[in-house]
């Protein structure tokens, strides 16, 4: 079984990737997306989204990282895909799943699921641009408004030469509301012959097992579940028990150090509150801590509450 850490814009940045891969259990990370419009992005953009490029595309703990691109113009996506792997990305991932309104309005992410032919042309151009030794993958949802084009979109991605496909088992309209329709992944899998990774609503080892059985996929991708339980990947692999709260609190302190002394200290109050919101799903103590800091704005006073 391979477990991938999902991209989550504004949450799973390189600091969180570093920490969660140190906790362990992940085999691959995918970055937040680089938005491509009508130009070859400067190298600094890739290094900002993926500082691991300075380490040959690996996290400090040695887990490979793949840059994700989002856009609608095949030629520009192809040029930027080549640049990403040239800089050290372990392949390229294409985003056809982002449900954000601002992204969809500019014809990126999940809105492209209405146009299988456009998806085909994008994946084909990127596959032709990226050297054969590097993988091209894509992430999609079951559809935009409904599942009527789910199989067609997956076939377009496979026929265009993608090496693998991650399927988030909900439509754009579903958003992140439970349930995830894992059985739909199995239906799609009958029509494509590339490896498929299942994603969506995996919060614990029972969810992971049910997802694997219903989707007929061995490999999975974790997003919010990994934020709610930092060692979820290790738990799913049967290598660790649930991380106790005291260890989680120690991670919060370490994360605070990353944020405060790293390059995003100004976002620290919002980031740590957001993470506590996810942790509250698994840890009652996280909710108590969140209530103590939710009105605080200063990093020092927030860190003091976490440590007390």
Taking the domains of the chain in order of start, what are their residue ranges?
A: 3-236, 245-307
Structure-block tokens of residue 127: 């596959």
CATH of 3-236, one of 3.20.20.70, 3.40.640.10, 1.10.10.10, 3.40.50.300: 3.20.20.70
Torsion of CA 265, 266, 272, 277, to 10 degrees: -150
pLDDT tens sequence across 224-281: 999 999 999 999 999 999 999 999 999 999 988 887 776 556 788 998 999 999 999 9
* Average confidence (pLDDT) over 20-32: 98
Cα 255 to Cα 37, 140, 250, 300, distances in angstroms: 33, 30, 9, 13
Q: Which class does domain 245-307 fall in?
A: mainly alpha
Q: Is 98 one of the catalytic residues?
A: yes
pLDDT tens sequence across 80-121: 999 999 999 999 999 999 887 767 766 788 899 999 999 999
pLDDT tens sequence across 127-177: 999 999 999 999 999 999 999 999 999 999 999 999 999 999 999 999 999
* Average confidence (pLDDT) over 53-61: 98
Neighbouring residues of 148: CB distance < 8 A, sequence distance ≥ 6: none
Catalytic residue among 50, 98, 211, 217: 98
Give the span between the Cα atoms of 78 and 131, in whole angstroms. Answer: 11
Q: What is residue 33's predicted lDDT score, i.e. its pLDDT?
A: 96
């Amino acid at each position: 079984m391979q477990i991938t850490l999902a991209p989550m814009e504004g949450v799973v940045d390189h600091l969180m990737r570093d920490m969660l891969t140190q906790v362990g259990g992940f085999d691959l990370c995918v970055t937040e997306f680089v938005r491509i419009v009508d130009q070859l992005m400067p190298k600094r953009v890739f290094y900002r989204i993926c500082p691991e490029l300075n380490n040959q595309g690996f996290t400090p703990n040695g887990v490979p990282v793949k840059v994700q691109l989002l856009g609608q113009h095949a030629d520009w996506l192809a040029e930027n895909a080549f640049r990403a792997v040239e800089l050290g990305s372990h392949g390229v991932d294409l985003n056809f799943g982002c449900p954000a309104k601002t992204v969809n309005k500019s014809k990126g992410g999940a809105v492209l699921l209405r146009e299988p032919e456009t998806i085909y042309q994008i994946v084909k151009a990127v596959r032709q641009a990226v050297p054969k030794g590097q993988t091209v993958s894509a992430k999609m949802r079951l559809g935009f408004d409904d599942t009527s084009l789910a199989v067609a979109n997956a076939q377009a991605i496979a026929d265009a030469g993608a090496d693998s496909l991650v399927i988030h088992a909900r439509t754009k309209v579903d958003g992140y509301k439970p349930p995830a329709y894992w059985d739909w992944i199995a239906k799609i899998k009958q029509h494509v012959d590339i490896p498929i990774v299942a994603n969506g609503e995996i919060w614990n080892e029972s969810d992971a097992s049910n997802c694997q059985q219903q989707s007929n996929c061995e490999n999975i991708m974790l997003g919010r579940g990994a934020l709610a339980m930092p060692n979820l990947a290790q738990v799913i692999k049967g290598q660790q028990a649930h991380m106790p709260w005291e260890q989680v609190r120690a991670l919060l302190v370490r994360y605070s150090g990353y944020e405060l002394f790293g390059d995003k200290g100004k976002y620290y109050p919002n980031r740590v509150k957001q993470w506590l919101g996810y942790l509250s799903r698994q840890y009652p103590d996280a909710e108590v801590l969140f209530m103590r800091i939710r009105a605080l704005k200063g990093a020092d006073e927030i860190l003091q509450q976490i440590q007390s």
